[in-house]
Structure 1
Amino acid sequence: MAKKSTTKNEKELPYSTVNNLLDKLSSLKNFRSSKKFYIILVALILVALVIYKKNWFVAATINGSPITNLELQMRLNREFRSQTLNQLINEKIILNEAVKNNAVVSEAEINKKISEIETNVGGTDALNALLSQQGQTKDSLRQQIKLQLAIEKLYSKDATTSAEEVEKFVESNKAQLRATDSAGQTKEAADLLKQQKLSQIFSQKFQELRQNAQIKIF
């Protein structure tokens, strides 16, 4: 049987070259599965983020010197953590009590209250401007309304006023009332008295709720 000859255009790959190529491919595969590969990959990703998403890491620069977001968060955490955490705990206590007593506030009720506020202040833009001046947002306003309505649902039935109390209040505070007619003053006085009593009742009830709550701070 005649041997197949190799033409000039056909080049056989030397055995040693094939082995070297396989070794390199094997080394590359092993490197990609090694910890070192992933460390380098993570480092490259972090470098890219620092370059293209600087605001994720740097809050500000002063004459080229950076203030990092980590510094900012550490300062905020140190100075405001206790106050903010205490506020969140109080809110959670109130809302949990509302759930327990079937006094949950709906989104529709919150939206209705916001519409009333917008009407009183002159529209949506006026409300947004007012919130901006006070350093608040629509979300923070919604949370405040949610808490206030929950408190009203929980305790307003106990904040009753008598006609005699209203009459005395009008006589003592007539100069401070916005209404000028008798009926308007009576209604305004009744609303103010109810809010005062509601505030007193809530203050007492909340102290009891806070004392009985199982609070663990980490």
Structure 2
Amino acid sequence: MAKKATRATKATRAKKQTSQKHEMIDVATENLIAGPSMQPRFSSKKIYIVILVIGLAGLLLANKGMVVAAIVNGKPIFRWELNKTLVSRFGKQTLEGIISERLIADAAKKAGVVVSKEDVEAKETEIVSGLAGDVKLEELLKLQGLTKEDFDNQIRLQLTVEKLLSK
């Protein structure tokens, strides 16, 4: 009887091994049929992190001038350093100028004073005709660090004050 039990055990073992092999083959076949699309290679969390990193890098590159004003001998001068220095040296004067311009603009609006583009152009022509023959307006503005728009705004402000005072 002992021999029969041994044979049954061997047969059971063989069946188990065969069924395990079949199961492994079935799993491998499923993986081949399903393909990699069934098994995600990257989790959505990793994808979001990669997109975030790329986005931040793009923002930093696009706004590089907003952070670093200049680089001297390989060392950056940060925008906040520049702003701090400018405010400490010229802050009060600049603020007073802005306040004055806004007060003048408000007073002109209340008084109904309007300076037209033609008025600005006429004053500009008058200034240019008063310059020495070989001096050009663009060169003069460049020497003073002004743009044409800055110059026109100064003329407009001056004419506004003149019109306000003449009322």
Instruction: Name the TM tier (shorter chain).
Output: 0.5 to 0.7
More moved, 94-103 vs 119-128: 119-128
The amino acid that maps onto 2:113 is A
Higher helix share: 2
Q: State the structure with bigger RCO (CA 8 A, min sep 6), 1 or 2.
A: 2
Whole-Å Cα distance in 2 between the matches of residues 100 and 129 of structure 1? 37
SS in 1 for 2:113: coil
How far apart are 1:113 and its partner, in Å? Answer: 0.8
TM-score scaled to structure 2, two decimals?
A: 0.65
The amino acid that maps onto 1:71 is E
For 1:146, the equivalent position in structure 2 comes to 156
Aligned residues: 139
Q: What is the 5 A alignment of 1:2-151?
A: 14-17=29-32, 18=34, 20-24=36-40, 27-32=42-47, 34=48, 36-46=49-59, 49=61, 57-122=67-132, 126-151=136-161
More moved, 63-72 vs 145-154: 63-72
How far apart are 1:130 and its partner, in Å? Answer: 2.0
Whole-Å Cα distance in 2 between the matches of residues 95 and 118 of structure 1? 26
Whole-Å Cα distance in 1 between the matches of residues 134 and 128 of structure 2? 5
TM-score scaled to structure 1, two decimals?
A: 0.52
Cα-to-partner distance string for 1:65-121 (whole Å, 9 max, x where unaligned): 222334223322343333212211110110111111111111221111111111211
SS in 2 for 1:133: helix
CA contact (8 A) 1:98 1:154 kept: yes
Cα-to-partner distance string for 1:154-185 (whole Å, 9 max, x where unaligned): 1224xxxxxxxxxxxxxxxxxxxxxxxxxxxx
Structure 1 alignment gaps of length 5 or more = 1-12, 158-218
How far apart are 1:41 and its partner, in Å? Answer: 1.8
Identity of counterpart residues, as a percentage?
33
Whole-Å Cα distance in 2 between the matches of residues 29 and 147 of structure 1? 58
CA contact (8 A) 1:58 1:68 kept: yes
The amino acid that maps onto 1:105 is V
Structure 2 alignment gaps of length 5 or more = 1-27
Whole-Å Cα distance in 2 between the matches of residues 44 and 97 of structure 1? 47
The amino acid that maps onto 1:40 is V
RMSD across aligned positions (CA): 3.1
